[in-house]
Structure 1
């Protein structure tokens, strides 16, 4: 992999993340409907560098035709046949239920098709946790990765749903080796204002953390974005907390705010955004055709570390 991306962008944080994940055994992963060049390229490269052991789930003729047309060697990869994209998603979920794979990776199907199979009431792989999405952002000008949640799944989450969204992000941060985890509950201001519901929910989430309903991190909120990530801005506002100015997890009020924040960082600050869905029995790797190869591999690396942390936690619970 090159040290720089197009335009001279350096992403040392993603390179370190991939190197850390590659120390684990390759993770069995269902690549769901990989019928385009991006999907196959991602799977083959992730296998080459030791991140994944891909199982391609899709129509065999379409997959082989794409591989031949794009000169991608898939000869050593297992292929599970399906008829169409919905069938690919269903068969990939079956592989999870059979214990054959530890993750799912989106191919050339709509996210709704994949997630529909994941959350299906009778055949899906939901858990007691709310499903939520996290971006792991590599912002070249920022000293450490930023986790942003939720910018892709939950549109206007309730306070109850935000508890799971926050806990999913905290667990992800620990899986990535982030210590300590500092969570900023974002709003447009840093004071509680009854006319701004997100400030009320931020205060409630922080008190829930005080009472042990959310664990594993320091929480503070409401915080405006500048007060969350800039120590100078926090000092000017006289905000004293372990989180202000040093947050590494950013919890947004709703999907619109999160989407705009993530895309602003991507298009104005040259950031890359590795994406993962949490709260199911296995992590779900979500990538975009517009993502660079490095970003797609970083998403795979995040899933590898999440799965490794789950195995370690399960072993500790048994012991």
Structure 2
């Protein structure tokens, strides 16, 4: 191990007045969120990027004690180092630290007192302009035993927040609200998601269903229906048909599932007369915001096509590429999943994956980069791809995961949601308009993000078909 990863303390006898130690640290919004979790300090000025309801908070400021805590790293790691015990710390704050500031933290010994006590001058300075952020004095018990040890790697923390969805929602709020036919929003979650998207300026809902149930659901969640059109229809199948009529008449640009069976909704959308067919198969895509992943992840098809053939898979890939572009991924990378990363005639999914890759090369699938077969590990992890010797623009960097069948897709998406704490948005593509299709268990963020993605996709694709 390199010497830079080895810490050696100074015992009380070794410490001399005038000794100094320092470190440099960049303040990050993620640090403030971790500090909020540990301390319980939820002041929105320190969490502006995550406080969606707050206004007038253009910058995120560091909590004062987070800045002060950096001193303890100098004392505990360097001077006096391992074995140091705090007795007191005086802090005076001179300026506000903002996310992105690079900080210089220093401790200097100013006195040695009896009983192994050492007094140090401590300060934190912003490097960009040498502004003093914090000053003070610390008194510590210095160690009496000499220690030399390897730096301990701190456990990696993955924050359970969803910045990609926050960005997508912000982008959608810049567009004109898309009029959305919402079918049977007759319970709290389905109605609440639509009303939240309305409140955020993403959609203008028209509600189709039982007026009495819709109003009761609104009362339960304490939200107003003022100014929102309700089309009375007790029967869910007929409500879905009326919603599709609304879209066929040009009065709405998106369809949203409420509290009804998916079959009833899609049956109306797929009807031959005045339906929503647009030339491609209807396919479903999960857009997932996975904590710790630096891009949205799309998983398809996980809800509609049970055992898709090659032609259907081509539509699945093309539809996913289209929506990935709509949410800001310029040239989406689609990994076609199989159990192996080599073509094996005994594994049909590997054969389909190879054919889909060749179809993309020949321009039969457009707008993205397609490669397969890829196993799950080497589709999303560069180290795994390198270990297997895979040279590919997609391997280790896939933004779209195309699964062999509905079973695999549904399991993968729900594993990411329930084990990796991903937030899932759901959309049906291939229709004339985007269809928002959420699970009954989805919360507000998933439904809001689904509406935002539908809005962005509608704005880009328009009447050409989604």
Q: 2:350 pairs with 187, 195, 199, which one? A: 199
Pair 1:73 & 2:224 matched = yes
Give 1:292's aligned residue.
443
Give 1:105's aligned residue.
256
Give 1:3's aligned residue.
50
1:12-70: per-residue Cα shift (whole Å, max 9, x none)? Answer: 11111101111101110011111111122112111111100011111222222332344
Asked if the contact 1:176/1:305 (under 8 Å) is kept, the reply is: yes
Counterpart CA distance in 1 for 2:219 and 2:327 is 36
Asked if the contact 1:4/1:11 (under 8 Å) is kept, the reply is: no
1:90-113: per-residue Cα shift (whole Å, max 9, x none)? Answer: 100001100010001111111111
Alignment of 1:106-255 (within 5 A): 106-255=257-406
SS at match of 2:285: strand
Pair 1:38 & 2:85 matched = no
For residues 313 and 154 of structure 1, do their structure 2 counterparts lie closer, same or farther at Cα, with a shift above 3 Å needed?
A: closer
SS at match of 2:373: strand
Give 1:61's aligned residue.
212
Give 2:167's aligned residue.
16
Counterpart CA distance in 2 for 1:116 and 1:135 is 21
Point out which structure has higher relative CO (alpha carbons under 8 A, 6+ apart).
1
Asked if the contact 2:189/2:443 (under 8 Å) is kept, the reply is: no
SS at match of 1:222: strand
Gaps of 5+ in 1: 315-319
1:185-214: per-residue Cα shift (whole Å, max 9, x none)? Answer: 000000000000001111111111111111
- The structure in which a higher percent of residues are helix is 1
TM-score w.r.t. length of structure 2: 0.65
TM-score w.r.t. length of structure 1: 0.94
Counterpart CA distance in 1 for 2:292 and 2:328 is 21
SS at match of 2:288: strand
SS at match of 2:166: helix
Pair 1:303 & 2:454 matched = yes
How many equivalent residue pairs? 313
- The structure in which a higher percent of residues are strand is 2
For residues 246 and 4 of structure 1, do their structure 2 counterparts lie closer, same or farther at Cα, with a shift above 3 Å needed?
A: farther
Counterpart CA distance in 2 for 1:139 and 1:42 is 20
1:229-267: per-residue Cα shift (whole Å, max 9, x none)? Answer: 101110111101111111101100000011111111111
